[in-house]
Structure 1
């Protein structure tokens, strides 16, 4: 089970990274297109009329629906990165008060918070699933691209399901570590 969860968490992060790279490229191209469009419109009446008219005539402009795709893609990417953070214990922590604790009580404290985090992630995944079903039923679409809203929810639910599996596994592993003293998960 350990290797399966490790592989799933890594693949989820890779897919999330690819989505973020595509969003960065999309946003960059959209900004360049918008600025070239502004330049063309300003030059169509100004000092470089022919270049300005050419830019306007070619229809260079920002990419339609960039905001919608960014909103959906970033939501997915957040859930796609949860599993790898969870598996490698790389969530941000503040251990001012716990750094001086003995090893056993610290292990139980880590296990407790791992169980709490797992419960929260599972809860969020279930709420996302219910939201997806609601949008699937009502047929709502995005404003510009007109793609169904539930698609974005479905992608996030898939990533949240992997995050939930990883979180439950990590909670179990931390409990075993606290009880036995042997390490199962890599230290962050």
Structure 2
């Protein structure tokens, strides 16, 4: 039951991350097109009245696109961490561990899972502290003046989901070591 809840959470975060990433890609493409069009409309050979009229319609780069990409990508990275951890998709180098036995590999897998869980809990805690701090001081972005704490809070949602998933994986790895059974199957990145 808990496994299904964790998997549903991880999938939901991955879908949200994918939607935000798609939006950021579209916005970046539109901003690049606008920037190129602005360059053409400001060219010396462009009739002054026509260029100015089209620029007056708002043709140009998206204001604050860099700030939005920066804030959005922080969320996207944290949103993809839960499914990556759940599916064992992190990169690994198995040259030496392939020579070890099953039990030794389970011990190493448990140690890595515990380390990752501890790191994710610490990151989530620090993001919580950062969100609180940014809310208190009212810091905003330079160009579009959105509150910085919004980006921190969005990243915090992903970090909490990643921390919860990581703690679950560590507990599963502990149970696998204790029982000798493989609980999580069909995982791992293709190399």
TM range (shorter): over 0.9
Looking at structure 2, the residues matched to 104 and 181 of structure 1 have their Cα atoms a distance apart, in angstroms, of 8
Across the two proteins, how many residue pairs are aligned to each other? Answer: 185
Residues 1:65 and 2:64 are matched in the alignment: yes
| Runs ≥4 residues deviating over 4 A | none
For 1:47-126, list aligned pairs within 5 A.
Answer: 48-49=46-47, 52-126=51-125
How much has 1:101 moved relative to structure 2?
0.9
What secondary structure, in the 3-state scheme, does the structure 2 residue paired with 1:121 have?
helix
Q: What is the TM-score when the length of structure 2 is the normalising length?
A: 0.93
Q: What is the TM-score when the length of structure 1 is the normalising length?
A: 0.94
The aligned residue for residue 33 of structure 2 is 32
How much has 1:59 moved relative to structure 2?
3.3
How much has 1:56 moved relative to structure 2?
3.2
How much has 1:81 moved relative to structure 2?
0.4
Task: Give the superposed CA RMSD.
Answer: 1.3
Whether the aligned pair in 2 keeps the contact of 1:40 and 1:54 (CA below 8 Å) is no
Encode CA deviations 1:25-70: one digit per residue, 9 max, x unaligned: 000000100100000110xx31x53764553343311000111110
What secondary structure, in the 3-state scheme, does the structure 2 residue paired with 1:125 have?
helix
The aligned residue for residue 21 of structure 1 is 22
The aligned residue for residue 170 of structure 2 is 171
Looking at structure 2, the residues matched to 132 and 52 of structure 1 have their Cα atoms a distance apart, in angstroms, of 43
Question: Structure 2: which 5+ runs fail to align?
Answer: none
